[in-house]
Amino acid sequence: MIIDNFYKSFLYDKRYMYIFEGLLNTLLIAFFAVIIGVLIGSVIAIIRNYHENTKRLNVLNFLGGLYVNVIRGTPVILQLMIIYYVIFKTSDINILIVGIIAFGINSGAYVAEIIRAGIDSIPKDQLEGGLALGLNYFKCMRYIVMPQAIKNILPALGNEFITLVKETSVGSMIGIVDLTKASDIIASRTYEYFFPLIMVAIIYLIITIGLSKLVKKMEVKLGKNINS
């Protein structure tokens, strides 16, 4: 009976392919979304820090703050639906790309705050040291502050990636075949929920636990050569 169920869920008609496809999509969305998130987050964090230091870029700073507050203050599922059903309503864009964009924009707001904390963790005398040598603010950020800040926040960025891996399951709402959706598809064929759901739960756990172990290792390793 159990073996029969297992066979029906995964082997019959190559149903395991749904799991593979879902896993691939989940990882793809999470990976590219975190990259977009880091890009957006860095730009916003630097704009906000530049504003704090010089009182310039008022409009950009305001928009950055608005973006962070709106994204962090609304559910990701709503953002996803707005982007898919409103913004991309008339285009026949690949739904995976919609997912990457939506989760990337969402992640950017959280990463912006992470990077801001990272920049704040670097003593101000580092920026002053660079400025006093004639480097402008952006060169100081690029060569002096950010390399040290990124080191400090790598673990937090790792955690953001882990969160994204789980959060992408929301993508099934707009029809993305991610890992969660894959289990749903299989179950709808077999009317057996146990194996597909438990299987993807185990896969999520393997990924997230594996990644957290990696983050922990990073923390230990960075802890050794992070300088005061």
Partner 1 sequence: MEKILTVKNLVMKFSNHAVLKNIDFDIEKGEKVFIIGPSGCGKSTLLRCLNYLIKPTRGDITFEGQDLKKTDINLIRTKLGLVFQSFNLFPHLTVLENIILAPTKLKLMKEEEAKQKALELLNSIKLKDKANFYPDELSGGQKQRVAIIRTLIMEPNLIMFDEPTSALDPKMIKEVTSLIQEVAETGITMLIVSHEMEFVKSLATRVIFMQDGKIIEEGSPNEIFKNPKTKELQEFLNN
The contact set with partner 1 (CB under 8 A) reads 125-126, 128-136, 139, 143-144, 147-148, 151, 227-228
DSSP 177-191: --HHHHHHHHHHHHS
Tell the smallest beta-carbon distance from residue 48 to partner 1 (Å): 20
**Residue closer to partner 1, measured from CB, 136 or 188:** 136
For the CB of residue 145, give the shortest distance to partner 1 in the complex, in Å: 9
Range 11-14, long-range pairs (CB < 8 A, 24+ positions):
13/189
Q: Hey, which bits of the chain come out as E strands?
A: none
Q: Could you tell me the smallest distance in angstroms from the CB atom of residue 156 to partner 1?
A: 18
**DSSP state, residue 15:** T
Q: CB of 151: closest distance to partner 1 in angstroms?
A: 7
- Is the distance from CB of 19 to CB of 199 less than 8 angstroms? yes
Half-sphere exposure of 26 (CA within 13 A, CB side): 28
C-beta of 13 vs 128, nearer to partner 1: 128
Please state the closest distance from residue 138 (CB atom) to partner 1, in A. 11
41 exposure class (CB count in 10 Å sphere: 0-12, 13-18, 19+): buried
Q: Least distance (Å) from partner 1 to the CB of residue 16?
A: 46
Q: Measure the CA–CA gap between 106 and 75, rounded to whole angstroms.
A: 10
Nearest to partner 1 of 124, 213 (CB atom): 124
Please give the Cα distance from 65 to 68 (Å, whole number).
5
Nearer to partner 1, 85 or 138 (CB): 138
Shorter beta-carbon distance to partner 1: residue 75 or 147? 147
CB 109 within 8 A of CB 67: yes
Select 11 or 133, whichever has its Cβ closest to partner 1: 133
